[in-house]
Amino acid sequence: MKDVLWDVTITKNGQHIWINKYNDEEIYCVDCKHPMVAVRGRVKQHHFRHKVDSNCSSDSESAKHYSKKHEIAEILKECGIVKVEGTIEKYQADVLFENDWAFEVVFSSKVTPEKMRDLRSNLVIFEFNDGQIWDAENNYEGVPFDEDNFRDIVLSFANQILNDKEIDVCSYCRQVKGWDSRIGKGGICVACDIGWTDEAKQLKEDSERYKEMKMR
């Protein structure tokens, strides 16, 4: 089985450590709890791997999702109440902030239409498979943000929420897109303005259905 390139691991006390902050601690896989080692130097991507062959069931997608979910949670803890996989209404949020806001991490599985419909005004979605926004290492790619790093981007949302300000995400798809998030009329991104996203198409269908009902 091909070893997954984890960028996060845990200590024996359960503390998360990311590869860029690792300092020779004794570390374990967050999934199977087997010992891990850091791989650094002249490699394409610094990462953690299992110390010996393992039957760990994690794949690269689940590893990336876990890492970003917990990274966002660790940052938000600086500002307020946070619960990983917390419950809001009948849904599970990747990261629940202040009991009212769902921060979602997307690599392959999109937020369901039902969840989008019911939680839209309280969603913040990081869709990391959008190559126009995020690069292969999940850093922002080409799209300008007011902040210089991922930590400050997440903190900006926490501050907006705590100060009852407009959240800097597209009002349709709820995705984080830097200055492009609300560039269109009504605070929507370019893709939603053109009608490319599933969310924009669904909202248009709902609007047309509503108009038809009123005309009856």
Per-residue model confidence (pLDDT) at position 3: 65
Using the predicted structure, report yes or no on whether residue 210 has a pLDDT greater than 60. Answer: no
Per-residue model confidence (pLDDT) at position 184: 83
Interatomic CA distance for residues 101 and 99, integer angstroms: 6
pTM of the predicted structure, to 2 decimals: 0.85
Listed in sequence order, the residues at least 6 apart from 112 whose beta carbon sits closer than 8 Å to its beta carbon are none
If phi > 0 it is left, if psi is from -120 to 50 it is alpha, else beta; for residue 115 that is alpha
Per-residue model confidence (pLDDT) at position 13: 92
Residue range 168-188: mean pLDDT, rounded? 90
Look at 143 and 96; give whichever has higher pLDDT. 96
Contact 82, 35 (CB under 8 A): no
Residue range 9-28: mean pLDDT, rounded? 93
Residue range 81-108: mean pLDDT, rounded? 96
Split at pLDDT 50, 70, 90, the class of 211 is very low
Residue range 14-36: mean pLDDT, rounded? 92
Per-residue model confidence (pLDDT) at position 143: 86
